């Protein structure tokens, strides 16, 4: 094999063009070969196909057909969030324009740990993070790999602020409905054991929060959720914010799912109170149609960010910073860092607020349609009308085991990808609708699939 071509530089596009044709053809063929929302046959079938496709992982001599073969096999074996019956998780179908931008990011490969590796990308990141922070009512934002890293950073900033102000560690209070990454971050940061506040109706109970804030010694950090992972519910943010203010507690809002509502005139009011938070988690690889990763942590007090100050002479020497080279190292816990901001910037600019808001409105509308279909169907129970785009339902009178079995049946048969959630002490099927292209008949089809597989699957 001759010396492999490089992606960037004047010859880069020339080298990439035929490879892109290969990739696009393999994506097309692999997707057709799959046929449905995910590969049929379950883990054994998929693993066998991958093993056959790759053979010797590191052969002595290279194989020029590897790109085509592996992309084809990956596409054939993927769960495709663009398929109307793939609706389990907060796993969105990325916009083509965002994916195309990500190709440019991968090609140019700027690294956001120093200006001399990312002159334009760092300037773009500064502008776009500011604009997104302002949308959320905050002043600045850090780019993260997603909600997990954003929640982790939020707790770190809270810990450092409390240590500076109170000389002691802060304690996290979170709802029983909160994302698992919050207590995990508290564990990782060596914080006191978090206090779990009841969320009997799926949202954090403000009265119970008030009791906890009254009895616990400070400093305290409350984490509320705008868009729960299981049910898409939004905690009563204004009430929670008022209680935090009254008790001098710090507030973090995990809006990994819900923040996308900011783009929609119709749904933005549901986020009232968001701007009261000290920190806000946003995740544009959910209700923002970005390829992973596209997370942000917005902060209202930029001074909090000094907790991340870090110096490495080769990346941000004081004399370089004084001479005007931006200090990027102190805006992340990572060192090398992808320019995830490019695809985000391209998407915001290409679609505009109206374009993104329309996508949000569409998926929320689909969720209402599905909920209405479930409600009117004698064979199903509906958990509740959707707040965002999540619908929980279950075959009427089914046991939890039967509900779990239907879901697995649909998965291993390659028919549909639905999630599961335990609420009200019962197991529900979860449809998280993030595909704006869905048609009503896709939703009736989805229910018909569940119905068929529930019938063939009833416990004796």
Ligand X SMILES: *Cc1c(COP(=O)(O)O)cnc(C)c1O
Q: At what angle do helices 341-375 and 96-108 cross, to 10 degrees?
A: 150
Q: Which residue is nearest to ligand X (CB)?
A: 146
Going from the C-alpha of 432 to that of each of 204, 282, 314, the distances in angstroms are 21, 17, 45
181 sits near ligand X (criterion: CB under 6 A): yes
* Least distance CB 28 / ligand X (angstroms): 28
Give me the 122-161 binding string for ligand X, x by CB under 6 A, dash otherwise: ------------------------xxx--x----------
CB of 229 to ligand X, least distance (A): 4
Helices of type H across 35-118: 42-54, 66-76, 96-108
391-411 in b/e form (b: 16+ CB < 10 A) is: bbbbbeebeeebbebbbebbb
252 touches 223 (CB < 8 A):
yes
> Which is nearer to ligand X, 233 or 315 (by Cβ)?
233
Contacting range for ligand X; rule: CB under 6 A; set: 48-56, 96-104, 186-194, 221-229:
221-229
Residue 340 touching ligand X (CB under 6 A)? no
Question: Closest CB to ligand X among 197 and 449?
Answer: 197
Half-sphere exposure of 230 (CA within 13 A, CB side): 21
Interaction between residue 177 and ligand X (CB under 6 A): no
Report, in angstroms and rounded to the nearest whole number, the Rg of the chain calculated over CA atoms: 24
Range in contact with ligand X (rule: CB under 6 A) among 1-9, 249-257, 382-390, 409-417: 249-257
Answer yes or no whether residue 225 interacts with ligand X by CB under 6 A.
Answer: yes
Binding mask 59-98 for ligand X (x = CB under 6 A): -------------------------------x--------
338 binds ligand X (CB under 6 A): no
* Three-state secondary-structure class, residue 86: strand
Near ligand X by CB under 6 A: residue from 110, 288, 295, 395: 295
Nearest to 93 by CA among 307, 389, 373: 389
Give all strands (DSSP E) within 373-440, no chain letters: 380-382, 390-395, 419-423, 426-432
Instruction: List residues binding ligand X (CB under 6 A).
Output: 90, 146-148, 151, 179, 181, 225, 227, 229, 254, 256-257, 283, 295
């Amino acid at each position: 094999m001759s010396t492999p071509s490089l992606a960037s530089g004047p010859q880069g596009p020339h080298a990439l063009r035929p490879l892109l044709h290969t990739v696009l053809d393999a994506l097309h063929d692999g997707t057709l070969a799959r046929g449905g929302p995910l590969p049929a046959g379950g883990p054994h079938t998929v693993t066998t196909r991958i093993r056959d496709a790759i053979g010797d992982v590191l052969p002595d001599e290279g194989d020029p057909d590897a790109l085509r073969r592996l992309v084809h096999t990956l596409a054939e074996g993927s769960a495709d969030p663009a398929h109307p019956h793939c609706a389990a998780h907060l796993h969105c179908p990325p916009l083509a324009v965002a994916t195309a931008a990500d190709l440019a990011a991968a090609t140019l490969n700027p690294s956001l740990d120093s200006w001399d590796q990312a002159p334009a990308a760092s300037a773009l990141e500064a502008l776009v993070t500011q604009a997104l922070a302002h949308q959320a009512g905050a002043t600045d934002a850090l780019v993260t790999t997603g909600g997990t890293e954003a929640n982790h950073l939020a707790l770190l900033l809270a810990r450092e602020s409390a240590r500076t102000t109170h000389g002691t560690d802060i304690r996290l209070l979170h709802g029983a409905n909160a994302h698992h990454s919050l207590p995990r971050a508290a564990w990782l940061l060596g914080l006191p054991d978090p206090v779990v506040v009841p969320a009997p109706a799926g949202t954090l109970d403000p009265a119970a929060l008030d009791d906890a804030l009254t009895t616990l010694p400070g400093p305290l950090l409350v984490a509320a959720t705008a868009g729960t992972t299981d049910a898409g519910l939004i905690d009563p943010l204004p009430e929670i914010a008022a209680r935090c203010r009254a008790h001098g507690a710090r507030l973090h809002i995990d809006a990994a799912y819900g923040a996308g509502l900011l783009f929609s005139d119709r749904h933005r009011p549901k986020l009232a109170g968001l701007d009261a938070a000290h920190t806000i988690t946003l995740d544009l690889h959910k209700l923002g149609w970005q390829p992973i990763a596209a997370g942000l942590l917005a902060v209202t007090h930029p001074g909090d960010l000094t907790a991340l100050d870090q110096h490495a002479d080769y990346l941000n020497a004081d004399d370089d910073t004084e001479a005007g080279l931006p200090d990027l190292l102190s805006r992340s816990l990572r060192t090398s860092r992808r320019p995830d901001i490019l695809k985000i910037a391209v998407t915001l600019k290409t679609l505009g607020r109206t374009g993104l808001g329309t996508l949000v409105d569409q998926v929320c509308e689909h969720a209402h349609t599905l909920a209405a279909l479930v409600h009117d169907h004698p064979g199903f129970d509906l958990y509740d009308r959707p707040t965002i785009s999540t619908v929980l339902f279950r075959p009427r009178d089914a046991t939890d085991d039967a509900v779990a079995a239907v879901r697995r049946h649909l998965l291993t048969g390659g028919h549909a990808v639905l999630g599961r959630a335990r609420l009200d002490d019962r197991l529900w099927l979860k449809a998280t609708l993030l595909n704006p292209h869905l048609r009503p008949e896709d939703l009736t089809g989805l229910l018909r699939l569940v119905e068929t597989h529930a019938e063939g699957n009833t416990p004796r």
